[in-house]
Amino acid sequence: MLVALVAACDGADEVVGPGGACGGRGGGTCGADQYCDFGNNRCGADDVTGVCRPRPASCPLLLVPERTCGCDQRVHSSPCDANLAGTDWNQGATCPLDPGTFACGYRQCMRMNEFCERTVSDVGSSPDDFTCKGLPQSCGGSPSCACLTAQPCGAMCSGDAGAGLMLTCPGG
């Protein structure tokens, strides 16, 4: 009886409409045609609530998938497809990695074809942005930070061919 009372008090069983607080401590559950949008893309792991947003009606068909880790621990074809499936993006990158990929925030980049560009947010609780970009031809078959020096933020490179390459750019 006490457990039921606690659940009712924290709002976890309450279905809320668009714009309502969801997830985290004290948030409710979004309706079936919505997803919980966590502003920091951390899936409520830090007990921060999200906001219920309508799921998109459809997503554009992409020629090249933008592998996106969702809060449901599944890899989706794009950020839009994650939202369509009823989940937000997972910046913690806790999804299983597809073969030949590495984590790039909520995205998965191809180790031998792409590098991760992380743009650090300089705004309070706003999330960082992550993009998989094609490696320059100068990288050849053995990508390293040396082949990314001409890229914006190329001096802020970390990683190697085995782990994947990440450029971290300051926000602005």
pTM for this entry = 0.79
Please state, in angstroms and rounded to a whole number, the distance separating the CA atoms of residues 55 and 86. 6
Q: What is the pLDDT of residues 70-109, one digit of tens each?
A: 999 999 999 999 999 999 999 887 899 989 999 999 999 9
State yes or no: pLDDT of 11 exceeds 70.
no
Helices (H), 102-150: none
Q: Among positive and negative, which fits the CA dihedral 54, 55, 56, 62?
A: positive
Residue 12 pairs with which residues in a beta bridge?
none
Please state, in angstroms and rounded to a whole number, the distance separating the CA atoms of residues 95 and 89. 11
**pLDDT confidence band for 125 (50 / 70 / 90):** low
State yes or no: pLDDT of 3 exceeds 50.
no
Q: What is the pLDDT of residues 30-58, one digit of tens each?
A: 999 999 999 888 898 888 889 999 999 99
Q: Among positive and negative, which fits the CA dihedral 93, 94, 99, 100?
A: positive
Mean per-residue pLDDT, 109-119: 93
List strands edge to edge, sheet with 50-54.
21-22, 50-54, 34-37
Burial class (CB in 10 A: 0-12, 13-18, 19+), 93: middle
Question: Rounded to the nearest 5 degrees, what angle is found at the Cα of 39, between the Cα atoms of 38 and 44?
Answer: 35
Please give the pLDDT value at position 172: 60
User: What Cα–Cα distance (Å) separates residue 15 from each residue in 6, 12, 19, 42?
Assistant: 16, 8, 12, 21
DSSP letter for 10, please: H
State yes or no: pLDDT of 122 exceeds 80.
no
Mean pLDDT of the chain: 86
Report which residue type is found at 45: A
* Number of alpha carbons in the 13 Å side-chain half-sphere of residue 61: 0
